[in-house]
Structure 1
């Protein structure tokens, strides 16, 4: 059960990082090509 909790936390942190990078990339591209 503890292992599942650690996996979920890992996925959540990864999702936040990937989401932040994706948002930053889209934001940058939108401004460069605006």
Structure 2
């Protein structure tokens, strides 16, 4: 059960960082 929670936490961090990267890329693409 502890291992499952750790995996869930890792995926949460990865998803969060992925969203930040996506927002950063979109901001860069929006520049002229």
Matches within 5 A, 1:1-34: 2-32=1-31, 34=32
Report how many aligned residue pairs link the two structures.
32
Q: Please give the root-mean-square deviation of Cα atoms over the aligned residues, in Å.
A: 0.8
User: Where does the alignment leave 5 or more consecutive residues of structure 1 unmatched?
Assistant: none
Superposed displacement of residue 5, structure 1: 0.3
Question: TM-score, length-normalised on structure 2?
Answer: 0.85
User: Where does the alignment leave 5 or more consecutive residues of structure 2 unmatched?
Assistant: none
1:1-34 residue CA offsets vs partner (Å, 9 max, x unmatched): x1100110001110110000000000001111x4
